[in-house]
Amino acid sequence: MRSEADLRSHFNVPKSQVLGRNDYGWLRVFMHKQLNADGFFRITAAELKEISAREPRLMAKHDSTAARPWIFKELGLNIIPVSRSEYLVGAFDLFTKFPDSESLGPIRYKPFPGNIESLDPNEITSESAALNASALSEILQDFLGTDTLQATVAGRMSTGSIDMSLACGNFQVTKAQMEIDAGLESSDQLCLVEAKNHLSDDFNIRQLYFPYRRFSQSLTKTVSPVYQVYSNGIFYLYRFDFEDDLRPESITLVDSARYTLTPSNITLEVVKQLLKSTAMTAEPEGIPFPQADSFARVINLCEQLQDAPLNVEEITENYDFTSRQTNYYTSAAKYLGLVEDSHRTWSLTDFGAKVMSSERNERNIALIKALARHQVFHMVLIRALENAEVPDKNAIIDIMNASNLGLKDSTVTRRAGTVMSWAQWVWDVATTQELEI
């Protein structure tokens, strides 16, 4: 078996590029397999395991573009199962982006049923619990504009026989394995839900396409593929359709919305009082100033650590981060005192565990206070309240330079984007309209 150093040299992998176990596994595969003239090759699960020395299910688990191996990104490739024992690797697109959360409109408030005792809406830490909560509160029913939804299908099953057209050719999928997190049926439609409790920029179309094709071929009712993401007390719902059933790449967003079970009581006046009551502290030693542009994903990372500590590889492979993003986001959470590391394994601090176990409003207040303890964020939020908007990047750079952070000019410019994004998160929490329905 070729050494990792030999593989890096053979494929001219940049020295700065961090490679994981799947990356090296696929480099070994590409030592043996080549794309044909049409831009694809087939590989059996047995071949994949033998060549890569990795489990095929791990090698083929590319739930977002960030999760794709380095060689796939370099060559513009994707992978899709075409049976229980064979995969297709080729030049075709298999991902679609989520819209910006700002475009989803007001957050809709749906009270959780008061007669339910076995599920606490403030302690939703798993995808299955989030699914149960959205069904019990009739969030899915409201989102789809339908009558009572009843659970019908779920779990692992076969795709049956599906004709499929990709950019590199026409193929038939025969009894490939797929999984449905929840299938709920009303009088006029079948809702097929893919549920996640981690945020990402995009998702693998296959997760919705296979269930959609399996049931749209046999039902007279409308089949509605829905992607549900739950994080920090918010349900993000996206309904999709396929303009051409044969083409996964024809996916199109039909509707999207945000819901919550706990109404927000945080206003700009609350933020103002938090800033007045929060004393600033010295910058933490040995922890770099944050470079993680999505504060929502910092929170989401901490949510993933509620059940158990995770090592760097698990965070990178399971939660749609690149290796570099894992470093940025864990470091950012550490900067706020939410997480700590030991031998490349990350866990919540006592403070982080207390924050993450709080209900939505208490959690967000604690997070705003954690930000306000740092001079730059404190001053930027004060400026935002004074001007009724988050300062632009140039204004933030001025505030950072005046704060004596000891950063190079180029570093300040890069970090200013993070500051602006985090301040915008606070602003959105305090100003986003919520509607009770």
CB-neighbour burial class of residue 292 (10 A; exposed 0-12, middle 13-18, buried 19+): buried
So what's the pLDDT on residue 322? 83
CA 425, chain centre distance (Å): 17
DSSP of 42-88: EEEHHHHHHHHSS-HHHHT---SGGGS-HHHHHHT-EEEESSSSEEE
Residue 367 in domain: yes
Average pLDDT over residues 389-405: 96
Residue 96 in domain: no
Among the candidates 233, 260, 287, a domain finishes at 260
Among the candidates 91, 111, 131, a domain finishes at 91
Tell me the residue type at 413: T
Residue 102 has pLDDT above 80, yes or no: no
CB 133 within 8 A of CB 142: no
Residues 280 and 303 in one domain: yes
Task: Choose among 352, 346, 350: nearest CA to 314.
Answer: 346
Give the domain range for residue 336. 268-432
Residue 437 in domain: no
Residues 114 and 170 in one domain: yes
Residue 147 in domain: yes
DSSP of 19-32: --HHHHHHHHHHHH
Residue 318 in domain: yes
Residue 321 has pLDDT above 90, yes or no: no
Residues 208 and 238 in one domain: yes
Average pLDDT over residues 22-27: 96
Residue 18 has pLDDT above 90, yes or no: no
Residues 256 and 217 in one domain: yes
Our separate counts of H helices and E strands in the chain read 17, 18
So what's the pLDDT on residue 101? 83
Per-residue pLDDT band at 418 (split at 50, 70, 90): very high
Residue 278 in domain: yes
Residue 146 in domain: yes
Number of independent structural domains in the chain? 3
> What's phi and psi for 173, nearest 5 deg?
-95, 125
Residues 425 and 344 in one domain: yes
Enter the pTM of the model. 0.93
So what's the pLDDT on residue 122? 87
Give the percent of the chain with pLDDT over 70.
100
pLDDT digits (tens, 9 = 90+) for 233-267: 999 999 999 999 999 999 999 999 999 999 999 99
Residue 316 has pLDDT above 90, yes or no: no
Residue 1 has pLDDT above 80, yes or no: no
pLDDT digits (tens, 9 = 90+) for 326-370: 999 999 999 999 999 999 999 999 999 999 999 999 999 999 999
So what's the pLDDT on residue 235? 97
Mean of per-residue pLDDT scores for the chain: 95
Residues 64 and 115 in one domain: no
User: β-strands 107-109, 251-260: how paired?
Assistant: parallel
Residue 2 has pLDDT above 90, yes or no: no
Residues 107 and 40 in one domain: no
End-to-end CA distance of the chain: 61
Q: What is the CATH number of the domain that holds 105?
A: 3.40.1350
Average pLDDT over residues 22-51: 96
pLDDT digits (tens, 9 = 90+) for 126-173: 999 999 999 999 999 999 999 999 999 999 999 999 999 999 999 999
Residue 399 has pLDDT above 90, yes or no: yes
Q: Which residues, at least 6 apart from 377, have a Cβ–Cβ distance to it below 8 Å? A: 371, 419, 422, 423
pLDDT digits (tens, 9 = 90+) for 76-92: 999 999 999 999 999 99
Distance CA 353, CA 359 (A): 12
Residue 63 in domain: yes
